[in-house]
Structure 1
């Protein structure tokens, strides 16, 4: 029996969730996973961790997990994350990200779970007027994905005032890379994240990389983003949990990023450096709603938590992503 409490990780078979599972286990916590395997993979969860295949909206299942495993905290990663899809199918996003989260929060309250960590997003800001963007910047989502996440943040705020539950919403910027030990990584087919797409292209899984927009007010005209290594992000979740347990009356809403950005071309140049090869770039027009620059102001998380990034190096992020992409090819070949 673990001395530290058991944490339920929803979506723990997915990209970020599987890294959080490893970070929790490495830190000595008990871990339980629930995932419907729509986009996750059963092999991404270590065999010795209790795993339940099912939906977070199944309250009978979630209530049973909380009771059986004596869950004391929840890290909530289950949801849908593709921005263009959210515009085409908003009902899916308001169901998966808002309605099902409401159901999960209710299960937490009914089960006496005191601490809740939510996987939120910088998309809650929309196109911010200033970059780097602070947590108190206006929340003006420009797509259903961002709005569906913001609705869950608001739900948590209201529920925490009425019930014995505190929470931390972590607003991610651009998550990239993979576990340095190659235990897990981004495995979803058809992913849209730039570094994932670029390493696929470097390994011949794609013919080229599309560069959307070359006329932004940035140094080289391409979009600038704040890329955070997924293992640094997972570590932030563990520290958020410890902060919630240390101060049960306090909530946190915090950006997760490095506070500096790289352009699309800088990212592709990094992949070229790491692979000693050249990816084909195809220049296309801007995508609707893409800000020219989106960089986090990360001072708040650095001040509140003892969080110091270990992998804040673009070439290192690319190296880990590339190593995982190669291993993923082996996993799929064996399947």
Structure 2
């Protein structure tokens, strides 16, 4: 690949990475705010989605940010210090896996709620979901903890100290290949298999069995299927956007990073993958009526308050003007 073309493509992809960070942060905090509001926060799915939004935000500030700094400043900021190299990789692996397993938990929770009405009463009351999510992040942090101890190493050549953040396949004493293999299974393969099984059962239970046995009306069926539809679309997005990047990065990274074309392919795959962490708000808005109504209601109230405030300010200004005119008339008379 021509160097000039490589630079142009790198800048374009780097700009997209920065856009993912900015928009993803804004969108995810909106999701967290909407899902934490009173009408939605007692629904189990929205409890999961609120924490998923925070996890997705953290995911955007490691590899994705590095793509931007490399493209525009030729600086791999996470390769400067060994401690930051380890922490950055630990955070990236842990929270990518966390987001994946939250999505699996959402699908499983929906399936169990569909199969057993008592599940919702037991599992969604109080803070049980948050206790479960705390346990999940502690478990994943423990699995990835060797990264904080073993990842990365220094080499010395001609009196110069060089940091090697990622080991090659021939030099695996840092456990990089082992941890990247574990990451592939925890982030992609096992969640992928789990989501396919759970959602297949969910489709059969929610769409076919329930409609056939209960004979729901179209309106009732539409309301009942609304949340299931959201979960199914989020699942499809996750599989389509993240699985190719995980496979390419795990099995072809060392080979592809050595050529310009390979670097661009890795860049594109990562951009697709992190798009999932940035734009879930669009899926929620288009597929879930409760989220859509609450989002519109929130911004409508805010706009109404702003317009009311402007009206009050303008009214007070007019009153002051009239008072000023009246006092001038009395003075002149």
Calculate the TM-score normalised by the size of structure 2: 0.25
Larger CA Rg, structure 1 vs 2: 2
| Greater percentage in strand | 1
Structure of greater relative contact order (alpha carbons < 8 Å, 6+ residues apart): 2
Calculate the TM-score normalised by the size of structure 1: 0.25
